[in-house]
Structure 1
Amino acid sequence: MTGRKPDPAELVPGGAFAYPVAAPRPTRWFAFLLVPEFTLLAFSAALDPLRIANQLAQQPLFGWAVLSVDGRPVRSSSGVAIPPHGDLSLLERDMQLMVCSGNRHVDSAPEPALAALRRHARFGGAVGGICTGASTLARAGLLEGRRFTLHWENQPGFREAFPELEPTARRHEVDGTLMTCGGGAAATEMMVAEMARDLGRDFAVAVSDMCLNGGDFHPRDAQRSSIARAIGSRNPKVLAVLRIMYAELEEPRPLEALAAEVGLSRRQMERQFRKLMNESPASTYRNIRLDRARSLLMETDLTLIEVALATGFGSVNLLSRHYKARFGLTPTEQTARRDR
């Protein structure tokens, strides 16, 4: 069973809104390799931004082929089976081969998939992983010395299976030609970030808006909120500190006072945050305030100084410096995008 690679003209749907692209590059191709029990949400979140980009430009900026090892439909973790365009014989060197998997991330891809990945990489093809696809890339020996990520739920199991490899906590990572993401909305953000590099930020923002994604696709955001990570750790004192941080944003408490409130020394608190949150309590507190600042900028008409005071920064300059470091743009640029 072989199948047929789509004709690029078939991948340009009509639509009410257009965003012409001058002098586009040749069609950039992605091959999505589905393995049993892949996550349907993550797969569709990666593929549909490509369709939207073609629709906006009314040109085949992107092409895609959905593959399975044997060309037969693949059942997702939700029980929905997706019929592919064909089997691995459709894979071409200019395609970025993206592995789509789910909770059975370590053992779901059969050996022919691993062989295809190694062969594709050996001859210069680009690879990537969606949701937990990084596990298959690790089995194929393609992650050593590379920066990558996968869904946070599956990272502990990944570390057990591959103790020599360390995924990041970010929502998506791009290391050269290697693209990986934690799934869901992060898959959309990763694809839109690639469009920003290929076609310019304005076009990428237009695609992001069509996805109702808010125009943000910065890769440094963590997959989980601070409170979710602390709940996962089941550490009551770290949770207690975080509750205070969330409750007291306008006048941030000194770290010594936070530690004393929950019966820790500052050094003990620092050590526990480093172990459980992979960052200092000062960074966590600042990021909570910055997340609140972004919400206020996107959802209210407060002035910049009002936002700065409401989140404990005291001045617009201080807020702007930390905001750009975290989100890749200034508060002024953020509100300009909101008002488009």
Structure 2
Amino acid sequence: METPPHSAWPYPRPDLPPVLSPAEAEHTISVWLLPKFSMLTLFCLLEPLRVANRFGRDLFAWQLLSSNGEAVVASNGVRIEVDGALDAVVSNDMLMVISSYEAEATVTAHDRAILRHVAAHGGMLGGLDTAPFILARAGLLEHQRVALHWESVPAFREEFPHIVLSAARYEFADRRLTGTGGAAGIDMMLSWIEHDYGPALANAVGRQLIHQRASTREDEAPGAVSGYELAHLPRIVLKALAIMEAHLGQVLSIPELCQLVGQSQRQLTRQFVTHFGETPKQCYLGMRLDQARRILADSRCRVTEAALATGFTHLAHFSRAYQARFQERPSVTAGRGTR
């Protein structure tokens, strides 16, 4: 079949698209899955490639890898069989890393050496959701703008303060590709398809997926005030939550908060109790503890560092409040997610 020009991609093949082998495709994407990875992220990564193969070209093949070649259990409990071990990756492949919870718990020095080997031989490396932690630990994100899941931003910033974090859904430059994961993976892969094959193909794939491409890579900050549903809240409550979020490390007193909001403490308390069943002080404490938990779960920060980063000057007070909220000591959280 004659290859169509980039500007005139045909209608999709009427037959089911073939599952290509690396030898048959122009590009091969190896996907390293870490335990508890997000299946949504995996699907949003692969589906644009599958659909692109329907448009008359044998463009993409993929293989799923695990650290040891054994099946991997996703965060939803589904067991996914893989094609091989990470050792099987070809140096000039694109290697995408997908992780979510406890990203680094099973990653070894040997695994990181493989990542560095791929990079040294010109391969493209990507990390989705929390996987930028793994790439950064291997020294592969220096001088890069990095996108990752918003919940992991505080921990990443604490541990890698020299790496520039992006508010975008994905970043693609210098043979590095990082993204927030989830549905943002569709836009990320459409962008890559457009980069290599032009906008006609990317737009056609988007239509097949019933996906309206984002007009910008910038997120709309779903976690701008993390942990709270913002719709229909009074403006004064939104302002108070935003100020709290901006002062998780340098904590304000409630009278200082009320002064910045322009509301009396009695009025603000009534609003918070009405909408959250908690006082402003209780909400503020919960936000700081949630931030501390993200830092401990996603980084190698010590308990003391996480406490100080969220405005706790007395470690005993922090530990008691943490255990009351999460039913475990902060040291347990810190020890579970990293190695």
Which TM-score band applies after superposition, normalised by the shorter structure? 0.5 to 0.7
Is the aligned partner of 1:151 residue 2:149? Answer: yes
Cα shift at 1:204: 0.3
1:168 corresponds in structure 2 to 166
Q: Distance in 2 between matches of 1:116 and 1:88?
A: 8
CA contact (8 A) 1:174 1:180 kept: yes
Cα shift at 1:15: 4.1
Please provide the CA RMSD for this pair: 3.2
The change in CA–CA distance for 1:196 and 1:84 in structure 2 (over 3 A counts) is same
Structure 2 gap segments, 5+ residues each:
1-11, 18-23, 243-258, 264-339
Code of the residue aligned with 1:224 in structure 2: it is: A
Q: Distance in 1 between matches of 2:14 and 2:240?
A: 49
Q: Distance in 1 between matches of 2:261 and 2:124?
A: 49
CA contact (8 A) 1:105 1:133 kept: yes
2:206 corresponds in structure 1 to 208
Q: Distance in 1 between matches of 2:125 and 2:59?
A: 19
Cα shift at 1:217: 6.1
Cα shift at 1:222: 1.2
The change in CA–CA distance for 1:217 and 1:117 in structure 2 (over 3 A counts) is farther
Code of the residue aligned with 2:135 in structure 1: it is: L
Cα shift at 1:105: 2.2
The change in CA–CA distance for 1:33 and 1:199 in structure 2 (over 3 A counts) is same
Is the aligned partner of 1:59 residue 2:54? Answer: no
CA contact (8 A) 1:43 1:100 kept: yes
Cα shift at 1:42: 0.4
Normalised TM-score (structure 2)? 0.60
Is the aligned partner of 1:47 residue 2:46? Answer: yes
Is the aligned partner of 1:190 residue 2:185? Answer: no
The change in CA–CA distance for 1:83 and 1:97 in structure 2 (over 3 A counts) is same
The change in CA–CA distance for 1:231 and 1:150 in structure 2 (over 3 A counts) is closer
Q: Determine helix, strand or coil for the equivalent of 1:192.
A: helix
Aligned residues: 226
Cα shift at 1:16: 6.4
1:222 corresponds in structure 2 to 219
Q: Distance in 1 between matches of 2:215 and 2:138?
A: 29
Cα shift at 1:46: 0.3
Cα shift at 1:206: 0.9
Q: Distance in 2 between matches of 1:125 and 1:38?
A: 23
Percent of pairs with identical residues? 34
Higher relative contact order (CA 8 A, sep 6+): 2
CA contact (8 A) 1:189 1:218 kept: no
